[in-house]
Amino acid sequence: MKKIAVFTSGGDAPGMNACLRAVVRTAKSMGVQEVFGIRRGYAGMIAGDFVELNERSVSGIIQNGGTILQSARSKEFRTKEGRKEAFKNLDGYDIEGVVAIGGDGTFTGAKVFMNEHKIPFIGVPGTIDNDLFGTDMTIGYDTALNTAMEAIDKIKDTADAHDRLFFVEVMGRDAGFIAIMTGIATGAEAVLVPETETDIDKLAATLEKNHRRKKTSSIVIVAEGDDEGGAFDIARKVKERFDGYEVRVTVLGHIQRGGRPTCADRVLASRLGIAAVEQLLAGKSNLMVGMINNKIETTSFEKAIKHHQEISPKLLDIVKLLS
């Protein structure tokens, strides 16, 4: 291959820039003549928003959060007409292969596109949710965990000072990995995740028992996709059943997406970026590269999209045991 493209899509994740850097430098070192970055994901592919990248243009970005190519969601790409326009632009630049950095929505789009137009895609898992099947860790997850943990530690300080109950909402619309891991790391009294049904009466009883034990504060971590609603809804329901604490709610929101990527995310992103280019130049397609037991593995887009990584029930038991 002489010309390839790379883009970031969906929610941004710390480490995406490190992956872009690895893709560009690996491709150039392996004889690819031109590497094009596509700005704003599939939206930019349709608009023809392409920029040539080289070793110099990706210098000094490994430590930066976000993505220099930006990211966007594209309703137009969901239409056959939109995908036809995207193919026209790729073909106009003589693109022979594409590296797609993103989550399951990104890979779903790539799979549909490849069924209609014969340009090979290799995917790299970039999402803070860590819910993709076929990799132990996704790019951005470790940084998001550490960001959330540091914020919750600070909240716990003020909770202790004022004898308060804090409900802290973290990201995780469909998966509770951030919630469960930060819950263990910060000593939360309870963690509520989309994967399990929340019992408000049971939660209130647990908090009341802790209050009788003279605990000076309590932290409940809520994944945004919990079945009982977000942190504000759950806090209100608990308050109706148990009024022993002064209740406060904090929504961490998009601070979990930002910030400098951790060492673990930079290394993971670099290894996966290299692997994606190697797979593409070896003639492979319709695959996501991932890291399993510290080894590079590949998973078909179909399998990565259809299956989701599941939370171990043992992790939920740890929260209960240590609370």
Give me the pLDDT at residue 216, please.
Answer: 59
pTM of the model: 0.91
Both 38 and 114 in one domain: the answer is: yes
Same-domain status, 168 and 56: no
- Least-confidence region, from 34-38, 207-211, 233-237: 207-211
Residues 132 and 10 grouped into a single domain: yes
Instruction: Using the predicted structure, report yes or no on whether residue 116 has a pLDDT greater than 70.
Output: yes
Are residues 48 and 111 part of one domain?
yes
pLDDT above 70 (res 323): no
- Split at pLDDT 50, 70, 90, the class of 270 is very high
The per-residue pLDDT for range 182-222, each reduced to its tens digit, is: 999 998 988 999 888 888 988 888 888 877 776 656 889 99
DSSP track, 256-275: GT-SPPPHHHHHHHHHHHHH
164: CATH: 3.40.50.460
Q: For residue 320, is it within any domain?
A: no
Asked if the model's pLDDT at residue 92 lies above 80, the reply is yes
Q: Is residue 278 part of a domain?
A: yes
Residue 319 lies in a domain: no
User: Which domain does 98 fall in, by range?
Assistant: 3-140+261-306
Told to judge if 129 belongs to the known catalytic residues of this protein, a careful annotator would answer yes
C-beta neighbour count of 254 within 10 angstroms? 10
83 plus 106 within the same structural domain: yes
H/E element, 209: helix 200-212
Work out how many domains the chain is built from and give that number.
2
Q: Which of 253, 291, 311, 270 is nearest to 61 (CA)?
A: 270
At residue 41 the predicted structure's pLDDT band, cuts being 50, 70 and 90, is: very high
Selecting among 129, 142, 226, 265, the annotated active-site residue is 129
Domain end residue (candidates: 219, 239, 257): 257
Residue 14 has pLDDT above 70, yes or no: yes
Mean pLDDT of the chain: 91
Query: Which band of pLDDT confidence, cut at 50, 70 and 90, is reported for residue 225?
Result: confident
Same domain, 128 and 265: yes
In angstroms, the CA 299 to CA 220 distance is 36
pLDDT of residue 161: 73
